[in-house]
Amino acid sequence: MAHATQSTTIVTSTEDNYLNHEKGIWSWLSTVDHKRIAVMYLISILTFFLVGGIFALLLRGALFNSGENKFWSYITPEVYNQFMSYHGIIMVFMVIVPGIPAVFGNFLLPVMLGAKDVAFPRLNLASYYIYLLGATIAGSTLFLGKIDTGWTFYTPYSIKTSTSVIMAVLGAFTMGMASILTGLNFIVTTHKLRAPGQTMNKIPLFVWAIYATSIIQILATPVLGITLLLLGAERALGVGIFDPNLGGDPVLFQHFFWFYSHPAVYIMVLPAMGIVSELISTFSRKTIFGYTAIAYSSLAIAAVSFLVWGHHMFVSGQSEFAGIMFSVITMLVGVPTAIKLFNWISTMYKGSVRLDAPMLYAIGFLFLFTIGGLTGVWLAATGMDVHFHDTYFVVAHFHYVMVGGTLMAFTGGIFFWFPKFFGKMTNDTLGRISWVFIFTGFNVTFFPQFILGAMGMPRRYFEYHPAYEPLNQISTVGSWLIGFGFLVALAAIIHGLVAGQKASANPWGSKTLEWQAPSPPPHDNFPITPTVTAGPYEYR
């Protein structure tokens, strides 16, 4: 445990905490307290997640059967393409990329480092409003001209289509800007605001994961910025850089787009790995196995993620030499991921494991991320990817690592840090029930899609070959289970807010620094700034 040598025996629950420090809605909207900004992010991200989830259910409903009598008759191919695009854009740009870093990174990074706030508090608030601005711009396309290019905006279709692509692209650009500013804030906080005595190998693994994510955010998002700007210029002025009739090369657009978007998938999954390291260590009451290995493999993943984007383009007209080059380096990304998985599982060895709701979500992460990771290796092999590219195999793969990985860890994180956020305990049985529904529903939805992919069903298809119908019907039923599971999770959270019993400062007996601050922590996090003398996972 980070022994705080000064006696910080928790003063009886100080009435003054960050929630009731100031009253009134304006005190929330104009706050620069990183904890309040985290709560505001949580609310926005959960709403966008709800909207994205509804689009997902509509999509699955539309794909229930193919042919004349559609399950949702009002969904036409045009409406389906728009739903498919909105599900992608909302989930990627509004929920998963900002998700864990903005909510848990904002709230926990300063507390885990023993700091009073992030390095640039006003910039933190500005990033939240820039994120909201971007979300409203992209969201406004729902009413002004829709968008039907998918979240990848591939040219030349995104140049030719008459839907409002410039609006959506501007929204994505602005949200990218917010993501850069958050990453910048977290890097400087980790470098400059650590508690006295807390060297880089005494910080919790969650901070390492957020640090690696912020590095990717800083180095990858600008290239997405310029790509989207050029796409806007393409549509407005006909600049011709990505437009084949004007001499451009659409494959170059894919290079620029995936130079951001593959590191972006590591922006999505690395924070989730950070959360899982915390959960596994706390709920096995055992020091993490191979701290340095996990910390440095986060950095290794961040570094190698910039070299592998070509595996999205094996069949897109990319040269065979480039395909082979990207394939060999993509295999290297698998090594640090395998290191992490093995380390988490050996943390449980000789531990004392307790399956509360957060731990169940961590176990769910390990189970689903193993399958997701392994199928990723299949797609990295060029010979196999030619058959699987742009089929439902890929859809299943990235849902296993994104929903199975990031969203499982996100929900697990909410249940784990709920006492620290709001000072109340959530109802554990409701949490476990929600896990059961989400876990089974997830497998019922997405495992059949691996088989559909092997059978060759292409992606983004509204009408599919009758041979694919039975598996699609199973998948749609599964999606209702997931929907119900997340509703139960929402019920557990609301129940916690309304009727949760008072939480002590350290309900789970965890050893990292944030559990030494009272929950919910006061405005300046710690009555006295703690001095750290030992590692973050000193369970005996």
Nearest CA to 270 out of 222, 296, 292, 302 is that of: 302
Contact residue for other proteins among 366, 402, 403, 517 (CB under 8 A): 366
The span of 18-26, 52-60, 265-273, 316-324 binding other proteins (CB under 8 A) equals: 316-324
122 contact partners, CB below 8 Å, separation of at least 6:
32
Cβ of residue 46: shortest distance to other proteins, in angstroms?
Answer: 28
Per DSSP, the residues of 366-432 read HHHHHHHHHHHHHHHSHHHHHHHTTBHHHHHHHHHHIIIIIIHHHHHHHHHHHHHHHSBPPPHHHHH
Asked if 320 interacts with other proteins (CB under 8 A), we say yes
List binders of other proteins among 117-156 (CB under 8 A): 117, 119-123, 148-150, 152, 154, 156
> Are 314 and 382 within 8 A, CB to CB?
yes
Length of the chain, please? 540
> Are 31 and 41 within 8 A, CB to CB?
no
The span of 21-29, 53-61, 111-119, 137-145 binding other proteins (CB under 8 A) equals: 111-119
Cβ of residue 106: shortest distance to other proteins, in angstroms?
Answer: 14
List binders of other proteins among 9-68 (CB under 8 A): 32, 66-68
Q: Which two tokens stand for residue 468?
A: 């694919």
Helix axes 469-499, 408-422, angle to 10 degrees: 10
Asked if 385 interacts with other proteins (CB under 8 A), we say yes
List binders of other proteins among 148-207 (CB under 8 A): 148-150, 152, 154, 156-157, 160-162, 180, 183-185, 187-188, 191-194, 196, 199-201
SS3 502: strand
Quote the distance between the C-alpha of residue 40 and its chain's center: 17
The span of 37-45, 313-321, 396-404, 429-437 binding other proteins (CB under 8 A) equals: 313-321
**Smaller CB distance to other proteins: residue 380 or 503?**
380
Cβ of residue 374: shortest distance to other proteins, in angstroms?
Answer: 4
The residue with tokens 């509804």 is 54
Contact residue for other proteins among 61, 240, 507, 527 (CB under 8 A): 240
Contact residue for other proteins among 319, 494, 528, 534 (CB under 8 A): 319
Site size toward other proteins, by CB under 8 A: 162
Tell me the C-alpha distance between 387 and 391, whole Å: 8
List binders of other proteins among 241-260 (CB under 8 A): 241, 243-252, 255-256, 259
Contact residue for other proteins among 133, 142, 338, 491 (CB under 8 A): 338
The span of 1-9, 22-30, 295-303, 484-492 binding other proteins (CB under 8 A) equals: 295-303
Quote the distance between the C-alpha of residue 192 and its chain's center: 26
Number of C-beta neighbours around residue 498 at 10 A: 8
The span of 7-15, 265-273, 296-304, 396-404 binding other proteins (CB under 8 A) equals: 296-304
